[in-house]
A and B are shown apart, each in its own frame.
Chain A
Amino acid sequence: MHSVIRIILQRLALGLLTLFVVSVVIFTAVNMLPGDFAQAILGQGATPEAVDAIRKDLGLDQPPVTRYFQWLGGALQGDLGNSFAQANFASFVGADSGVRTTVAQQIAPRFANTMFLAAVTACIAVPVSLVLGILAALFRNSVFDRATNVTTLTSISSPEFFLAYVLILFLAVLNPMLPSLSNIFEGMSFGERLEKTLLPALTLTLVVTAHMMRMTRAAIINLLASPYIEMARLKGLSPMRVIVKHALPNALAPIINVIALNLAYLITGVVVVEVVFVYPGIGQLFVDSVKIRDIPVVQACCLIFAAAYILLNLLADILSILSNPRLRHPK
């Protein structure tokens, strides 16, 4: 067990290092965006004095390196800064209410929504992909296998908004079973929330299933020529048992990695689906913030996306390691 813990600690340290590098990249990239917040908010008629005042108020006049370390220092303490857009510029007319919305306050509910959508999608997509992948491997080269492959490939190849509208057409318009708008707000019951989330979740399921299902199928089929699979068949075991009990445990590592990649996508890449269903997730907030150059929010979103990728891949690595009995039970 000792070696496993060491490997996990190594991966964890590497993950943190990656996150640090990514934070530098994010900060640099965001600061290279053309135009700045002060210009954007004051519009064409801005006087240079007003622009300077806002820039100074927001600390934008500081050199980038100083700003980076201020930001990083804050982020490490859980303070992601204040949102520019929500700042109360009334102070400029002498009526500062003293209230400022922090980035964390702004992102938290959106992020929770995104996580909820990702979780619902994962609960549908992962089991469906695994079962379809296992069945496709079991009945490989049959009509079922081909049909599954064609269907999932079609759905992954279609644009997300198209899939979304097709689902809306069939499940909300022609057969009004589900709401076509996912306007979620605080204080909704879990059931209501789930109902409103179901259509976007189904859309995303169609998007991510193909990848996971095909990897499951391929990883299992890849093992079917192994001597231990032949041995299992020669023990007179049923084909289903051969695949589930003998092939699947050895095929877990690549499958876990693909699942992690797709879950990360669900957290970071669902802007289009959010827009179609008017779902108040983090993707929309991110795009809006980029539009108005609300730098603290953009940076915080990027950092969360990066952390999600790194964490999920880390988790996948750890689970892959744990799925290997050679590492779990050293000699």
Chain B
Amino acid sequence: MSALVEIRDLWIEGRSDETWSPIINGASLTLNKGEVLGLIGESGAGKSTLGLAAMGFTRDGVRISKGSVMFDGIDLITASAAKKRDLLGKRIAYVAQSAAASFNPAHKLIDQHTEGPVQHGVMSRSESVQDGIELYRRLRLPNPEEIGFRYPHQVSGGQLQRAMTAMAMSCRPDLIIFDEPTTALDVTTQIEVLASIRDIVEQFDTAAIYITHDLAVVAQMADRIKVLLKGDEVEEADTRTMLAQPKEEYTKSLWAVRAFERPQKPAVHTGATPVVSVQNVSAAYGKIQVLHDVSFDIHEGRTVAVVGESGSGKSTTARCITGLLPPTSGLIEFDGQPLPANYKSRNKDQLRQAQMIYQMADTALNPRTTIGNIIGRPVQFYMGLTGKQRRRRVEELLEEIELPAAQYYDRLPSELSGGQKQRIGIARALAAEPKFIICDEVTSALDQLVAEGILKLLARLQDDLKLSYMFITHDLATVKAIADEVVVMKEGKVVEQGPKHDMFVPPHHPYTDLLLSSVPEMDPDWLTNLLNERGVDNIGDAAVDKMS
């Protein structure tokens, strides 16, 4: 049997500042009919570029310089644009990372669904509508009859991702490229999308290239795994072999990331005054009540992880603590003293003591300001240092976050990598010499290796400076790594809280249980076992809904 996709010695370049730099260096790949290949690597490894190249597609500013891409005997590199358009959508389909961004906001789902089949002459519109409803049903979307007649903004993220899979299936293609389809989703939602995708790919015997940075996810989905690093192929093997016996050092290091865990700290003395005490806080956006009676304490030198899905009120709690959103009732105490509800009524010292590090270092740093000034501003504002003293302090802070000052002081944020930008965000928070830092999903936009570096840095700073952290995250691996105590939130309420070791040992609140059991594990049978155990109707949104 000849291969469906055959990529040989493919070189791809991208343009930056008038020069072409390599993105993929001589990758080769073979995919048979009905097979699922996992492409794994960190951001910048070129996995999306390679995935798109398998469709004969390159983004603007990217070009294929050498090599061949054969799809079912057709050379996609030399094929005319019209010939490729005939294949795209019809025989090769694509599922993008963010369905919310990849569905056109101006058209109903079903209109976007039927567009491919109608334009390619595969089905009439009415046939395609019927088929779409059937696909929605198979993908276990709620109300398959009518969900397609909604606009993208009226449908939740996990449902959109399944609708996009249905759209990819609309012409019954031979190959689907899944480009990080679950990365933007909550764990409980991710699981049902994974299950749906896996089922439908099996049902139609579709070949797939599944791109992700999450090893545990790829373990559930792929027959074979290929590891990429900075455009170079590291190794390839079938899933079980790869998980059991990775050959290359790099692969082993990827596997090992999840091993980082801080040692357990001794219990806090009873009667010690917490650094931050959140007491019965409720808050609302306009008339919509978003926090209900939230209480927890954060002690000196401790990390409290606040866990929950998007919309559970984690970030809102942070906004209440910082005074950006004054609570409707309840109290925030700092070192035993009540804090004014509104940040405008707090004095400079109260403001200085609580700092924030944001999820998107990209948008949290002023792109037109040098690193020296970004960190220098809080140094001057809070500590009153100017001139040489200010510069010396900024240099100290840069050393603290392990970036050589001489090299970075005059750079702009755009000249830094994602992990380095996040370190600058940390230095900016440290510049105020606070006791307490709120870390809002600080590692979720980063690759695992880089994220681990950030976590280790935060852990060291905590030990050196006796910092207290409130660590907002939806990633339970991060919680395991860094937290001392855990607060689980759902729909604006605290459903469970306690020391970390208690949280990971049963029995716990059913919601915590659901969250924990939804985190994919590095076992290729994990998803199958879980589905057998819980049943397909008892995962994801359905399970969450049953609980409330």
Instruction: Tell me the A residues contacting B by CB distance below 8 Å.
Output: 225-228, 230-238, 241, 245-246, 249-250, 325-326, 329, 331
Contacts and interface: CB of A to CB of B under 8 A. Distances in A.
B154 A329 contact: yes
A250 B154 contact: no
B119 A226 contact: no
Given A230-B59, A237-B115, A326 B153 contact: yes
B72 to A, nearest CB: 15
A174 B310 CA distance: 71
Given A249-B107, A325-B151, A234 B88 contact: yes
Given A234-B94, A236-B120, A325-B153, A228 B102 contact: yes
B104 A246 contact: yes
Interface stretch (B79-87, B126-134, B391-399): B79-87
Interface string B56-95: 0101100000000000000000000000111111100110
A235 B154 contact: no
Contacts of A238: 85, 119
A241 B154 contact: no
Contacts of B151: 325-326, 329
Given A326-B153, A329-B154, A236 B105 contact: no
Contact of B105 (A232, A235, A325, A331): A325
A214 B102 CA distance: 26
A231 B113 CA distance: 12
B505 interface: no
Q: Which 9 A-B pairs have the closest CB atoms?
A: A236-B88, A236-B89, A235-B89, A249-B106, A227-B101, A227-B102, A234-B94, A236-B85, A228-B104
Contact of A235 (B107, B116, B150): B116
A227 B106 contact: no
A226 B101 contact: yes
A331 B107 contact: no
Interface residues of B, number: 30
A35 to B, nearest CB: 53
Interface of B: 55, 57, 59-60, 84-90, 93-94, 96, 98, 101-107, 115-116, 119-120, 150-151, 153-154
Contacts of B120: 236
A234 B153 contact: no
A170 B375 CA distance: 66
Most buried by B among A234, A245, A331: A234
Given A249-B106, A250-B105, A234 B115 contact: no
A234 B89 CA distance: 6
Given A233-B57, A235-B93, 8 more contacts: A228-B105, A230-B59, A230-B96, A234-B93, A235-B88, A235-B94, A325-B153, A326-B151
Contacts of A233: 57, 88
Contacts of B60: 225
Given A237-B89, A331-B153, A232 B104 contact: yes
Nearest to A226: B101
B98 A227 contact: yes
Contacts of A230: 59, 96, 102
Contacts of B94: 231, 234-235
A227 B105 CA distance: 11
Nearest to B91: A236
30 contacts: A225-B60, A227-B101, A228-B102, A228-B103, A228-B104, A230-B59, A231-B94, A231-B96, A232-B104, A233-B88, A234-B57, A234-B93, A235-B88, A235-B89, A235-B93, A235-B115, A235-B116, A235-B119, A236-B85, A236-B86, A236-B90, A237-B89, A237-B119, A238-B119, A249-B106, A249-B107, A250-B104, A325-B153, A329-B151, A329-B153
Most buried by B among A225, A235, A241, A246: A235
A241 B90 CA distance: 16
A236 B116 CA distance: 8
A300 to B, nearest CB: 42
B102 A236 contact: no
A226 B107 CA distance: 15
Nearest to A250: B106
A249 B88 CA distance: 23
Contact of B102 (A231, A249, A326, A331): A231
B76 to A, nearest CB: 13
A241 B107 CA distance: 14
Contacts of A325: 105-106, 151, 153
Most buried by B among A228, A238, A246, A250: A228
Nearest to B101: A227
B427 to A, nearest CB: 32
Contact of B87 (A226, A236, A237, A326): A236
A137 to B, nearest CB: 14
A229 to B, nearest CB: 8
A228 B112 CA distance: 10
Contacts of B98: 227
A232 B153 CA distance: 18
Most buried by A among B55, B90, B104: B104
Contacts of A227: 96, 98, 101-102
A331 B119 CA distance: 30
Contacts of A326: 105, 151, 153
A228 B89 CA distance: 14
A250 B60 CA distance: 21
Nearest to A241: B119
B453 to A, nearest CB: 29
Contacts of A225: 60
